[in-house]
Amino acid sequence: MAGAGPITGKLDNIRKLEDLGAGAVVLPSLFEEQIEQEQQLIDRLATMGADNCAEALTYLPAPESYSVGPAGYLETIHRASQAVDIPVVASLNGITDEGWVQYARQLEEAGASAIELNIYFIPTAPELTGRAVEERYVHILQAVKRAVKIPVAVKLSPYFSAMGHMAGQLVEAGADGLVLFNRFYQLDIDLTGLTLLPNLDLSTPAEIRLPLLWIGVLSGRLGASLAASTGVESSDEVVKYLLAGADVVMTTSALLRHGAGHMKVLLDGVASWLAARDLNTLDSIRGRMSQRKVADKTAFARANYIRVLQGY
């Protein structure tokens, strides 16, 4: 699958990804915060100087005639869902309860096949407990599930103290799929200008380890699909995720780095890997190296420092 990101925001790319064999696409997220900010800006512009000069208002079109709001996004969903046969998954990043629910409904009405909840939340307030953070995820999911009929997946952060339990709570609350993991931007410091730098690096294959571990642990244990997201650069990472138990594998950075055409490289690579072993279905490898299936189950949780040090 093509994961959420700029590539899937363009209809041409979506068509191309389908032609090349992508199983589905996730659109970049609709951000409630951005919609609110745009609306506030328009409101400010519309009222600027209005007290001094009544005509000032007439220089600006009425706020509702600006193309703020989710209209463009909904149009993309609508057009994409008409243009391709593969599922077009909408992604939503809300801030208020009302926003999550209201936009989720609109995404469904526009023709989205499913919704991915991009719950991008860094609990910076020290008084916020782990339980409160978990409840927030569950609460958002339940509210959206009540509002729509299409499947809803939750894109998780890796920062839960008990990932297995968190995943289970979400499935119990109705999650149809879990996406492991979201990749939060981590800021850096510019030592010359002493400014905070937003860090927007693309991922590398070394980053598959954490999602690989949790997909391996959770595979076969939850009544929801598992999607792997992070670190896919070549077909090797796709095969590893499938072996660990991913139902689907997503890629965003690699498509940005190499273009939408890279989807074919990934799919051809997986096909060659299977063919070299006389295998012809993804099901023949899915979950084969999951914790449930491997003989050494402790390998998923063991601290291997000693073993590593023995090599030095």
Ligand X SMILES: Cc1cc2nc3c(=O)[nH]c(=O)nc-3n(C[C@H](O)[C@H](O)[C@H](O)COP(=O)(O)O)c2cc1C
Give the footprint of ligand X on this chain (CB under 6 A). Answer: 3-6, 28-29, 91, 118, 155, 182-183, 202-203, 229-232, 251-253, 256
How long is the chain? 312
Show Cβ contacts of residue 141 under 8 Å, excluding neighbours closer than 6 positions: 117, 152, 154, 170, 173, 174, 175
- Beta carbon of residue 82, minimum distance to ligand X (angstroms, whole number): 22
Whichever of 113 and 283 has its CB closer to ligand X, that residue is: 113
SS3 177: strand
Can you say whether the dihedral through the CA atoms of 216, 301, 173, 155 is positive or negative? negative
Q: Which is nearer to ligand X, 61 or 72 (CB)?
A: 72
311 SS3 class: coil
Nearer to ligand X, 155 or 286 (CB): 155
| Long-range Cβ contact pairs of 76-82 (< 8 A, separation 24 or more) | 76/9, 76/11, 76/27, 77/27, 77/107, 77/110, 77/111, 77/112, 78/110, 78/111, 79/11, 80/11, 80/14, 80/25, 80/27, 80/111, 81/110, 81/111, 81/112, 81/113, 82/111
Nearer to ligand X, 153 or 285 (CB): 153
Q: Which is nearer to ligand X, 157 or 290 (CB)?
A: 157
By C-beta, is 136 or 293 nearer to ligand X? 136
CB of 72 to ligand X, least distance (A): 14
Q: Report the nearest approach of ligand X to the CB of residue 61 (Å).
A: 29
CA separation for the pair 268, 26 (Å, rounded):
21
State the burial class of residue 294 (Cβ atoms within 10 Å of its Cβ: 0-12, 13-18, 19+): middle
CA-to-CA distance for 10 and 68, rounded, in angstroms?
18
> From CA 50, how far away is CA 244, in angstroms rounded?
62
Bond prior to 184 in cis (omega within 30° of 0):
no
CB of 207 to ligand X, least distance (A): 6
Min separation Cβ 251 and ligand X, Å: 4
Contact 41, 67 (CB under 8 A): no
Query: Alpha-carbon distance 225 to 229, whole Å?
Result: 13
3-state secondary structure of 49: coil
Rounded to the nearest whole angstrom, what is the least distance from the CB of residue 5 to ligand X in the complex?
Answer: 4
Six token digits for residue 30: 């609709």
Taking the complex as a whole, the smallest distance from the CB of residue 2 to ligand X amounts, in Å, to 9
Q: Which is nearer to ligand X, 235 or 307 (CB)?
A: 235
| CB 7 to ligand X: min, Å | 9
**Which is nearer to ligand X, 108 or 116 (by Cβ)?**
116
